[in-house]
C-alpha cells in the first residue's frame, strides 16, 4: 500500500513538473522611440499620459496572447495603439517633413514563416502597420512605397483612410518650426528631432515570434527619405529564434542591418540575446557614428532593451508575468 502510494505521488509530482515545464510562455515588449528623453524634459502630466499609452498598448497586445493568439497579431495590436497616440512619432503623432506634410513607414515580420510586409511614404493610412500586413498577405510583394502603396490601399476596404491633416498635432508643428529655424541658422537640429519610432516584439504560446515597427520618420526630412523602420533586416526582423524592432538614426541601422545582425549572432554564433543586442546596438552603431535603441525577444522569452540615448520609451510583460513601463536610462 505504501509502495503504491509512493509511486502514485511520484507520478503525480512528475506530471506536475512536466506540465509546469511545458506550460506556454508568452512575452511582449514594446517601444515608443529612443532619443533625448531626460528627467525634467517632460511635465508630470505629459509623463503620466505617455506611460498610460504605453500601458494601453501593452494591454492590447497581451490580450491577444492571453487568448492564445499569434505573436504577429499581438505585435500589430500593440503598434496600432501606439499609432493612435499623439505622443509617439508614428501615425497620429507623426512628425512633419520639410514640406509640412507626413510620410509614414511601417513593417512587420513573422519569425517561423519568414513572411514580411512593409510600406513607406504613405500619407492617408491611419494604421500603416495594418497596410504593411496587407502587403504581406494580399500581394506578391514585401514592400510598397508612396503612390503605389496608396493605390494598393485603395484595393483593401479594411484599411482605414484619413485626410493627411488628421496626423497634424501642434506639438509636432512646433518641432517643425524649431527645426526650420535651426536649419536656417545652420545649427543642424537633427539630434533633437531625428528619433521617434514605435515597435513591438511578441512571443506566443506556440513558441512563435514576430516583430512590428512604425514611424513618421525624421522631422524636416526631404526627397522622400526613408529610414530603417520599413526595411526588413534593418529596423525589423524575426526568425524562429529571435525578433527585434529598432529605433534610432535610421541611416546607421540600415548600413549595419541592425535587426538581422543581432538575430544572426543569436542564430549562428549561439550568443545570448542580451550579449548580441548589446554588441550591435551599443557597440557597432555608435562606433560608426549612430545612436538609438532596440527591443528584442528570443524563443525562450529572454528580453533585451539596449539603447545609448538618454531615454527610450519602453514597456514589457515577461514570461513570468512581471510587467514594467520605463522612459529614462536609470529605470
> Which residues carry out catalysis?
197
Point out which residues pair with 297 in neighbouring strands. Answer: 243, 303
| Neighbour tally for 189: CB within 10 Å | 18
Cell of 244: 527585434
Asked if 66 and 60 touch (Cβ cutoff 8 Å), the reply is: no
CA dist 311 and 291 (Å) reads: 12
Asked if 208 and 264 touch (Cβ cutoff 8 Å), the reply is: no
Residues 6 or more apart in contact with residue 200 via CB below 8 angstroms? 28, 29, 30, 31, 57, 61, 74, 75, 76, 78, 79, 82, 211, 212, 245, 295
Asked if 131 and 122 touch (Cβ cutoff 8 Å), the reply is: yes
Q: Percentages helix, strand, coil for the chain, rounded to the nearest 5?
A: 40, 25, 35
CA dist 129 and 92 (Å) reads: 13
The residue written with cell numbers 512593409 in the block is 118
For residue 13, what is the enclosing H or E element?
helix 2-22
| Neighbour tally for 272: CB within 10 Å | 15
Asked if 31 and 314 touch (Cβ cutoff 8 Å), the reply is: yes
Amino acid at each position: 500500500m505504501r509502495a503504491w502510494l509512493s509511486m502514485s505521488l511520484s507520478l503525480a509530482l512528475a506530471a506536475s513538473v512536466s506540465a509546469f515545464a511545458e506550460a506556454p510562455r508568452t512575452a511582449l515588449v514594446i517601444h515608443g522611440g529612443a532619443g533625448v528623453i531626460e528627467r525634467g524634459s517632460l511635465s508630470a502630466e505629459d509623463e503620466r499620459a505617455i506611460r498610460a499609452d504605453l500601458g494601453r498598448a501593452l494591454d492590447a497586445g497581451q490580450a491577444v496572447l492571453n487568448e492564445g493568439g499569434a505573436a504577429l497579431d499581438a505585435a500589430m495590436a500593440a503598434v496600432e495603439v501606439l499609432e493612435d497616440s499623439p505622443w509617439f512619432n508614428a501615425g497620429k503623432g507623426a512628425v512633419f517633413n520639410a514640406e509640412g506634410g507626413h510620410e509614414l513607414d511601417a513593417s512587420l515580420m513573422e519569425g517561423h514563416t519568414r513572411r514580411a510586409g512593409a510600406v513607406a511614404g504613405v500619407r492617408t493610412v491611419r494604421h500603416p502597420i495594418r497596410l504593411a500586413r496587407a502587403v504581406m498577405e494580399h500581394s506578391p510583394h514585401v514592400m510598397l512605397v508612396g503612390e503605389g502603396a496608396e493605390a494598393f490601399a485603395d484595393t483593401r476596404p479594411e484599411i482605414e483612410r484619413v485626410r493627411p491633416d488628421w496626423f497634424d498635432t501642434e506639438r509636432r508643428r512646433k518641432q517643425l518650426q524649431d527645426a526650420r529655424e535651426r536649419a536656417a541658422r545652420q545649427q543642424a537640429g537633427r539630434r533633437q528631432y531625428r528619433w521617434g519610432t514605435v515597435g513591438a516584439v511578441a512571443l506566443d504560446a506556440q513558441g512563435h515570434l514576430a516583430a512590428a515597427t512604425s514611424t513618421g520618420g525624421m522631422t524636416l526630412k526631404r526627397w522622400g527619405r526613408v529610414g530603417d523602420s520599413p526595411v526588413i533586416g534593418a529596423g525589423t526582423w524575426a526568425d524562429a529564434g529571435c525578433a527585434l524592432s529598432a529605433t534610432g538614426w535610421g541611416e546607421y541601422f540600415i548600413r549595419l542591418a541592425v535587426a538581422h545582425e543581432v538575430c544572426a549572432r543569436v542564430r549562428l554564433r549561439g550568443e545570448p540575446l542580451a550579449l548580441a543586442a548589446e554588441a550591435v546596438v551599443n557597440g557597432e552603431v555608435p562606433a560608426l557614428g549612430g545612436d538609438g535603441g532596440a527591443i528584442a525577444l528570443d524563443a525562450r522569452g529572454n528580453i533585451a532593451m539596449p539603447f545609448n540615448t538618454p531615454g527610450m520609451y519602453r514597456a514589457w510583460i515577461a514570461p513570468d508575468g512581471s510587467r514594467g513601463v520605463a522612459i529614462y536610462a536609470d529605470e
